[in-house]
Amino acid sequence: MFVGSSKERFVYHNTLLCLVKALQGQNITLDLRNDSYTCGQIVTVDGFMNISLCSAVYCDPQGNEFFFENLFIHGRNIRYIHIPENMSIIATIKKELNKNKETGPVKKPIAKSRKNTKALQQHMQTVASLDL
pLDDT value of position 105:
54
Q: Could you give all domains of the chain from N- to C-terminal order, each with its CATH number? A: 6-105 (2.30.30.100)
Count helices and strands in the chain by DSSP H and E runs: 4, 5
Q: Tell me the three-class secondary structure of 99-122, residue by residue.
A: HCCCCCCCCCCCCCCHHHHHHHHH
Q: Which is more confident, 7 or 28?
A: 28
Q: Is the pLDDT of residue 20 over 80?
A: yes
Check if the beta carbon of residue 75 is closer than 8 Å to that of residue 50. Answer: yes
User: Tens digits of per-residue pLDDT, 24-43?
Assistant: 999 999 999 999 999 999 99
User: Tens digits of per-residue pLDDT, 68-126?
Assistant: 999 999 999 999 999 989 888 889 888 888 886 655 555 656 666 788 788 888 878 88
Check if the beta carbon of residue 47 is closer than 8 Å to that of residue 68. Answer: no
pTM of this structure: 0.70
